[in-house]
Chain A
Amino acid sequence: ETGVTQSPTHLIKTRGQQVTLRCSSQSGHNTVSWYQQALGQGSQFIFQYYREEENGRGNFPPRFSGLQFPNYSSELNVNALELDDSALYLCASSLSRGSYGYTFGSGTRLTVV
């Protein structure tokens, strides 16, 4: 049974650029949630995808968007990067949208300069 895999592990981007982060969900899981963890803060919910559709969104601007594919893997896209977007981005998969049994990936560390 494979866990959640995120790529890349580290990334440096320039302000104004666009970035795509990727996540492969755990086998058998159909729900993926994305979280942003800024330094010294709790993880903030970005959005959740269930069976390829967005199933809820946190307080993030529209330049944060996502996708879920038929194999339940997911992408997080951020346009017009700002310095404050520098954070650890965590992907978590779960058996279903109501499940709290998250399996987290190890995250992508994004630095915007």
Chain B
Amino acid sequence: DQQVKQNSPSLSVQEGRISILNCDYTNSMFDYFLWYKKYPAEGPTFLISISSIKDKNEDGRFTVFLNKSAKHLSLHIVPSQPGDSAVYFCAAKTDSWGKLQFGAGTQVVVTP
């Protein structure tokens, strides 16, 4: 039962443009959401997060938006840079002990 879904396996965007990655979830008990970035042959690294009590969190070029009524969150990267080419995972948690549920990931390719 996949509670966190990333329906776009890949995204190609031109350098300088906006990348928008989407994530949907089914469990209304999720209280914290995170985005991880993964380069080949490396482990995922934390990128940005948002609590369920907020609808937006911004960190430099990265902004995460949360729409609780739609059970949807998105990650915006503006402007996109070649170094942003990676797989991005959306994750969510309900438990106080930090177990994460991950989406399948979206491969982002930023072209010159």
Contact = CB atoms under 8 A, between A and B. Distances in A.
Interface string A4-17: 10000000000000
Contacts of A90: 43-44
A41 interface: yes
B46 A56 contact: no
Given A55-B97, A100-B34, A40 B43 contact: no
Interface SS of B by simple majority: loop
Given A42-B4, A106-B42, A58 B99 contact: yes
Nearest to A43: B102
Interface residues of A, number: 30
Interface string B84-112: 00000100010111111111110000000
Interface of B: 2, 4, 6, 9, 32, 34, 36, 41-46, 49, 89, 93, 95-105
